[in-house]
Amino acid sequence: MNRVMMIFFAACVVGVYAQAAVAEDIPIVGNVESKCVIMTDTTGVYGNPTPSNLSTDTADGGVEPIVRFDVAQADYYKALISYPESFSQSPSLTDTVTWTGAVSVDQVSDTNMSSYDTNKVEYNNTTEYDLTVAGTTWFAIESEADYGFDKAFPGGTYRAIVTAECIAQ
C-alpha cells in the first residue's frame, strides 16, 4: 500500500513540475512584413557661391540632402526621387529661375545594390529606382538654381522641397 502511495505521490510531484515547465514556455511571435521606410538622413543646405547661384554642392558651400530608403523585402517597391523645380519659400522673384539637379546612390547596405545607378530611369526632374534588393540605400540629391542672366538673388530665405516616394509594385 505504501508503495502505491509513494508511486502516486511521485506521479503528482512529476506532474506538478511538468506543468510548471509547460507554464514557463512563453512564445515570442514575430511577423516580417514587406514595408518601405523613407528617412531623411541629412537635410540639405543651399550654398551661395555666386550672387546668381544657389547650390547644394559641397564645393559651393552647400550640403546635399541624403534620403534613406529601407525595404524589408526585395522587389516590392520602387523609389522615385525628384529634385526641386521651384522654391517653396523665397523672397519675391521677378526673373526666371533655371533649375538643375541629379540623384545618385550615396551608400548601400548590400553590394548587390551597386547596379542601382546603372539601372535607374530618369525623366523630367525625377529619378526612378527599382528596389530589387532588401536592405538600405542612401540617395544623394543635387540641386542648383540659377537666377536670370547672372542676376543676383535678392536677400532672404530660400527653401525648396525634394520629393521622395516609395511606390509598391
Q: Is 89 in the site for other proteins (CB under 8 A)?
A: yes
Nearer Cβ to other proteins (63/93): 63
Q: Is 76 in the site for other proteins (CB under 8 A)?
A: yes
Nearer Cβ to other proteins (19/100): 100
Q: Is 92 in the site for other proteins (CB under 8 A)?
A: no
Nearer Cβ to other proteins (45/152): 45
Q: Is 41 in the site for other proteins (CB under 8 A)?
A: yes
Only one of the segments 3-11, 21-29, 70-78, 118-126 lies at the binding site for other proteins (rule: CB under 8 A); that segment is 70-78
Residues 50, 59 contacting (CB under 8 angstroms): no
* CB within 8 Å of 106: residues ≥ 6 apart: 66, 138, 139, 140
d(CA 154, CA 51): 9
| Cell numbers describing residue 87 | 522654391
d(CA 137, CA 109): 6
Q: Minimum distance between the CB of residue 164 and other proteins, rounded to whole angstroms?
A: 5
| Cell numbers describing residue 73 | 523585402
CA distances from 152 to 51, 97, 100, 132 (A): 4, 11, 18, 44
Q: Is 141 in the site for other proteins (CB under 8 A)?
A: yes
CB-count exposure of residue 1 (10 Å: 0-12, 13-18, 19+)? exposed
Q: Minimum distance between the CB of residue 120 and other proteins, rounded to whole angstroms?
A: 18
Binding-site size, other proteins (CB under 8 A): 43
Q: Is 70 in the site for other proteins (CB under 8 A)?
A: yes
Nearer Cβ to other proteins (52/81): 81
Report the SS3 class of residue 13. helix
Residues that bind other proteins in the complex, under the rule CB under 8 A: 33-41, 43-46, 56, 62-63, 65, 67-68, 70, 76-77, 84, 88-89, 107, 109, 136, 141, 143, 157-169
